[in-house]
Structure 1
Amino acid sequence: MPIQKILLVDDSKTELHYLSEILTKRGYQVRTAENGDEAMRRLAEDKPDLILMDVVMPGLNGFQLTRAITRDPNYGDIPVIMCTSKNQETDKVWGMRQGARDYVVKPVDADELVAKIKAFG
């Protein structure tokens, strides 16, 4: 099933705007959340096909939120792509251990991001 609905989780309004623009121009339906609590509300309102998750956020960080989502029976089937400035190999390994299916380092290359999204659909 192709990916259509994407939830972007990032505490930076600039990143949310930038990523939303990339994705909406390519035909994706995008919803955003600026923190973990808002992300969980968005999940409950309308289940996305994929989640793009920042790591460094106030409250629950992206690693904690990814772990909570991927271990939840209601949402465990939603692929999570970490989308973060944390570019160390240990960060990537840790993100994948929390349940992420892929990892993209900011600044995001639009074509690379879209290719990774399409790989899930």
Structure 2
Amino acid sequence: MARILIVDDSPSQLLSIQRIVEKLGHETITATDGTTGVEAAKAHLPDLVLMDVVMPKINGFQATRTLKREPTTQHVPVVLVTTKDQDTDRLWGIRQGARAYITKPFSENELLEVMERIFSQQKAKATE
């Protein structure tokens, strides 16, 4: 079981993602904006962050960049989960340090595949 931080300003999206993640057997922590998400990541050191992009205070790109520059959270993988579906957005998200980019709406299987891939990569990296 992993600890997953979900950051999304939409209560319905937050609840939807939380239900999927908990159904998969993981513990969840939630935040409703980028600033609170960064604070939660520092406080709880999750195994994965699922981050919306379009949010108040600081957006998901800025929050991802902040997490990747912070020594205590730079190892935490971030998946951007957003309605922004342009290739330039995907590229910018990866450049900010995101490990993956999922476009809303997405299926439960799509989220599961991305999470499994990241956890598999983390496990392989830990055994090197």
> Which category describes the TM-score, using the shorter chain as reference length?
over 0.9
Any conservation in 1 of the 2:7–2:31 contact (CA below 8 Å)?
A: yes
Residue of structure 1 in register with 2:116 after alignment: 118
Specify the SS of the correspondent of 2:42: helix
Residue of structure 1 in register with 2:25 after alignment: 27
Residue of structure 2 in register with 1:105 after alignment: 103
Unaligned 5+ residue runs, structure 2?
A: 120-128
Residue of structure 1 in register with 2:4 after alignment: 6
Q: Which of the numbers 55, 61, 84 marks the counterpart of 1:57? A: 55
Residue-by-residue CA offset, 1:75-108 (whole Å, 9 max, x unaligned) = 0000000000000000000000000010000002
Greater relative contact order (Cα < 8 A, sep 6+):
1
TM-score normalised by structure 2 residue count: 0.89
Q: Which of the numbers 81, 86, 89 marks the counterpart of 2:87? A: 89
RMSD: 1.0
Does residue 39 of structure 1 match 2:43?
no
Residue of structure 1 in register with 2:64 after alignment: 66
Specify the SS of the correspondent of 2:5: strand
Over the matched positions of the two proteins, sequence identity in percent amounts to 42
Any conservation in 1 of the 2:4–2:29 contact (CA below 8 Å)?
A: yes
**One-letter amino acid of the structure 1 residue matched with residue 37 of structure 2:** A
Pick the structure with more helix per residue: 2
Specify the SS of the correspondent of 2:46: coil
TM-score normalised by structure 1 residue count: 0.94
Any conservation in 1 of the 2:4–2:50 contact (CA below 8 Å)?
A: yes
C-alpha distance in structure 1 between counterparts of 2:10 and 2:57, whole Å: 14
C-alpha distance in structure 2 between counterparts of 1:28 and 1:47, whole Å: 14
